[in-house]
Amino acid sequence: MFSTQLYTRISFLFLSLYFLLFGCAATSSNVERDAIQAIVAQANHEFYLDERIWYQDIQAEIVDHTVVLKGEAFFKIPVKGLSRKLQKAGYDYPLIDSVSYLPEKFQNDFGYGIILDPYVMGRYKPLYIKNEGTEMLYGEPVRLIREHGEFYQVQSNIGYLGYIPKSSVRTVNLEEWGRYHLGKQAIFDNDVTLESGQVIIMGSRLPYLGDGHILLANASEVTLSQEHYKIIDPAANPLRNAIIASAERYMGLPYVWGGRSSEGVDCSGFVMQSFALNNIYLPRDSDEIANVGRIIGYPEWMDAMLPGDLLFFAGSRRMVTHTAIYLGAGKVIHSLGSGVQIQSLTPGDPEYSENLASRFIFAKRIFD
């Protein structure tokens, strides 16, 4: 009897100890998992201010003491920065990147498009009504982000994301897409109905080929009187040289966080002041400036970029952490590190910066 009671008590003790140890371990594991997921969620929140244009939606799972990142993102650098965030918080685990990066890959490099309708509403969800974002006009070049049934999600040239019907866009490769960015442009200042029945809405812009010839969205050409449009040549705008001259006056100044004076400037303060000296007023911070203007370049496509356009660069903490002014020939002028300097994004150039080139994500045009 005594031995049976003793055995029962010892067994109960071991069971209690087992549940205590493994219960604590499970609780500790759950706390750790929740903490890691909270860090990742915070990183998504801090990634960018405006999800209408770019977003990052990452989730974390812990598998065998390894953090597996899943979800969607546009850029790898901020995702890589999560590893440093986790290490800083004391979670020095191996990290596997299983994130789906946008845009999706499209067959034959047909990841670009030209709007065919007089106008089409980009919607935040793949629907034909409601969830309005912004309209895209006839002839506007867009970038395809993903395919979804009867819709494409696209990014307009001002940056807004939206779903549009597949019938509203002509899909093209990068070379054809570039034709709608390069050279002179015809900007329509009234509505026009062509003999074919095609309507071109006021505010639309199309490539001007000379002698009244205009390239239409379907790749055909039409001859049209200039009473319907004005011709602009972005490359000939003297404001470009004026902004570069203003920027060069800051050469050699030290980098000063928050600075925008002749004593020192930070990256966005430098850009802001170079434009302000020419009566163009931009927001104060790099990620705010990134919402202004038209997208005119990506790392894989810089053909249409002109001096005076702005470049934006990703960081490990947020999407846009740096900006610079384009000088042409792959060179930029910016304030970074030792101060205002000229560097190149072109390998083999004596002023080439691999770090800067690897962080370049897109360029914008503020004026024509």
148 is annotated as an active-site residue: no
How far apart are alpha carbons 264 and 282 in whole angstroms? Answer: 18
With contact defined as beta carbons under 8 Å apart, do 82 and 74 qualify? no
Phi, psi of 9 (to 5 degrees): -65, -40
Sequence-distant (6+) residues with CB within 8 A of 25 are: none
Q: Is 267 one of the catalytic residues?
A: yes
Residue among 181, 213, 228, 334 flagged as catalytic:
334
Parallel/antiparallel/unpaired status of strands 66-73 and 95-97: parallel
How far is residue 79's CA from residue 47's CA, in Å, rounded to a whole number?
9
Cβ 296 vs Cβ 304: under 8 Å: yes
Active site residues: 267, 322, 334
